[in-house]
Structure 1
Amino acid sequence: MIIPKHSRNVYDAAVRAVGARVIEVKAAEELEAAFGPRTAMVYILAGPNADEGPLSTRAIAEVAKGKGVPVLVDAAAEILTIPNVHLQAGADLVGYSGGKCLRGPQTAGLLLGRKDLVRAAWVHSAPHHGFARGLKVGKEEATGMLMAVEMWVRRDHTAEWSRWTSWLEHISRRVATIGGVTASVVQPVGLSNRTPSLKVLWDPKRFGISGETVARELFDGDPRLALFPARGEGEGSETGVSINPYMLSPGEEKIVADRLYAFLSNPTRKDPDAPLAPPVADLSGQWDVGIEYAAGTSRHVLHLRQRGNEIDGSHQGDFVSRDLSGTIDGDAVRIRSLYTEENGDALVFTFSGRIEGDS
């Protein structure tokens, strides 16, 4: 299975689960050389990187068709386009999530394209006893998916967009009355998660609280609000939250506005901008770390270099090594490593604790 570098993500594990070996390509010349007699498919994640350039869907499809290899576009997060933009660009198959833009069943989706390939996917899933039998979509979900598509093609998308915008403007007017808070509606680019959004920003030094903390506190509150942390685009250090309206029901924009206003109009300073305390120890060296997961355990190694309050180094796990960074504030230690999804998986580790004696 060939995947362009720009399309590696955590979801390509679903394709690897059938036993396919991934061949990653970074340039057009690598693409041409990657095809062989056992190449089963080319997988592309829909998005700006697949829209243009030497490894766009159209460019890849032209090469793949000459090799007799089908191209699948993963458009799970996109809006459904009719006629379909990916099939028009040369893809053989395109998949959509039922539970995102279509707002249908979370357990269902759409597979569109070449009839013989769609039929082959069906043969290997329920009601047959192929690989995907354990991933069966029930009659209820199939019917719900059909209804979601029918509603999609009948929906007044222009009126819906105006309604979403009006909700964001209501929230914006409410929070913008707080001194030091700005709010602006952001229009989307591309087809993925296509919805306007509201970015609410403030100075963390003035308010003593970050967007990450606000998002977490509102998510843990009652009623629960799911917002995204956000940051300003300039050189400044503005923090904030981003609000997406397309899962809201009428009237819920008032709940969001009131909760966010109450939080920001009288903020509790949970993220004070205080200087870090002198470190009580030097953690430079090799540290063996025991990790307990929800199911299983492992031993990792942290190679640390400390310079003042800053820590950097590497984190060696079971299979891969990645960079780490962190701080030591007096006796409080916080270290973080990240293995990004462009490698086909995402692994984020955060280690925190306090120094006691030699441990």
Structure 2
Amino acid sequence: MSDKTTIYDELGVPRVINAAGTKTRIGGSLIRPEAIEAMSQAAESFVRLSDLQVRASELISEVTGAEAGYVGSGAAACMTLAAAAAIAGDDLGVMSRLPDTDGIPDEIVMPRTHRNGYDHAFRAAGAHMVDVGNNDNYLGTGSNSTEPWEIADAITENTVAVGYMQKVYSTPLLEEVVEIAHEQGVPVIVDAAAEVPPRENLSTFIDLGADMVIFSGGKAIRGPQTTGILAGKREYIRSAALQHLDMHVAESVWEPPTELINKADLNGVPRQGIGRPLKVGKEELVGLIAALNSFVEEDQETLNKEWESRLDIVDTELANLVGVTTQREPGGKVMVAPETYVEIDPETAKVDAVELVGSLRTETPRIFVGSDDLLEDGFTINPMCLTDEEAEYVTKRIRSYLE
């Protein structure tokens, strides 16, 4: 493998070969070169961030079909902004009190099987989560984990939104949830952070009626890691902007962008809102715009062939190892890219999966593979963030523990 010195080598920090995919904990993805160039140019001069957010909003609207869009400092930040928008609307008093929601409707209804660690971002805005449903899918009874009527029954005068985590296995169907929520005048927030590609998903959830949809800007889109996209109804994007932008200005000279905010509809200038700690710099905004433009123009079929070819290297290198079986898992469903699933038989292999994956992480450079299936004696190799040379290196290192 190349002996090229990286900035991490110069800093004395172990670098990582990423065979796990777009995982935040090891740096997300690699920013597109055109985004890096745009960020470098953005750093050379100044711009009003609200004007730049308007340009980003126009692009997000164009590619998603949403009324408007906004950029936050990651998908989780956009979830917080979405919850804050659902709770506060245009009420400056509520905005100033968040995350204190005493006496204010603040409930987000969510199917129990959609709950995950990331919905802490909803709670950060002051939202209270209301679980519905159970885990019957996993009991083999034939019944659904969440029935549509359970969502309808949980919506009360304290409900500000219905939360939905988009995966191919998510139930009930999004269109059913949207219909139920809209019948009671409640918006639907969709966490679709990792659901692109396919590129069509940028507009799919908006087309199905979702009011706010969140995507990561730093995964397959390959923008700056600290960017996320919030697409949705103009009223919610306006509220998010009011709670995110720097509003520390005298009212007499406050001129918010009319494309996002109608000053005449407000009682005054908002205080610094719940979104202020989630700010995005001019460099990141420009980088996300450049990356999103490139993403929608990308030839996905060519990229898929590249990923499959890279996994051919992996499969060849791991063939004929005692106690090891590999299986190609297709992309486009649960995961974005195809992956090779590696299963280790602890009775016959030289090391078990836990020891192998742990050892790889202590090497120099560190090697990270997908570890979600360790308790089932398996791990995955994802080609998205590898070069062919790195794929060969990773598999040779794996062989060294198993031969």
Whether the aligned pair in 1 keeps the contact of 2:350 and 2:402 (CA below 8 Å) is no
1:228 positional shift: 2.5
TM-score (norm 2): 0.60
Q: Which amino acid aligns with 1:10?
A: G
Q: What is the distance in 1 between the residues matched to 2:113 and 2:319? A: 38
Aligned partner (choices 45, 48, 70) of residue 168 of structure 2: 48
Q: Does 1:72 align with 2:72?
A: no
Q: Does 1:246 align with 2:353?
A: no
1:7 positional shift: 1.1
1:231 positional shift: 6.2
Q: Which amino acid aligns with 2:215?
A: Y
Question: Identity of counterpart residues, as a percentage?
Answer: 32
User: Any gaps of 5 or more consecutive residues in structure 2?
Assistant: 1-107, 134-146, 248-271
Aligned to 1:146: 289
CA root-mean-square deviation: 2.2
Q: What is the distance in 1 between the residues matched to 2:192 and 2:168? A: 12
Aligned to 2:360: 218
Aligned to 1:3: 110
Q: What is the distance in 1 between the residues matched to 2:186 and 2:149? A: 17
Aligned to 2:230: 111
Whether the aligned pair in 2 keeps the contact of 1:164 and 1:196 (CA below 8 Å) is yes
Aligned to 2:255: none
Aligned partner (choices 198, 201, 207) of residue 349 of structure 2: 207
Aligned to 1:22: 129
Name which structure has the greater RCO, CA cutoff 8 Å, separation 6+. Answer: 2
CA separation of 1:146/1:60 partners in 2, compared to 1, >3 Å: closer, same or farther? same
1:2 positional shift: 1.0
Q: What is the distance in 1 between the residues matched to 2:112 and 2:211? A: 20
Q: Does 1:33 align with 2:171?
A: no
Aligned to 2:242: 123
Q: Does 1:260 align with 2:367?
A: no
Whether the aligned pair in 1 keeps the contact of 2:112 and 2:132 (CA below 8 Å) is yes
1:117 positional shift: 1.3
Q: Which amino acid aligns with 2:115?
A: R
Q: Which amino acid aligns with 1:21?
A: H
Q: Does 1:184 align with 2:291?
A: no
User: Any gaps of 5 or more consecutive residues in structure 1?
Assistant: 266-359
Q: What is the distance in 2 between the residues matched to 1:239 and 1:23? A: 35
Q: Which amino acid aligns with 2:294?
A: M
For the residue of structure 1 that corresponds to 2:160, the secondary structure is coil
CA separation of 1:13/1:231 partners in 2, compared to 1, >3 Å: closer, same or farther? closer
Whether the aligned pair in 2 keeps the contact of 1:2 and 1:25 (CA below 8 Å) is yes
Whether the aligned pair in 2 keeps the contact of 1:124 and 1:131 (CA below 8 Å) is yes
CA separation of 1:31/1:203 partners in 2, compared to 1, >3 Å: closer, same or farther? closer
For the residue of structure 1 that corresponds to 2:358, the secondary structure is helix
Whether the aligned pair in 2 keeps the contact of 1:4 and 1:44 (CA below 8 Å) is yes
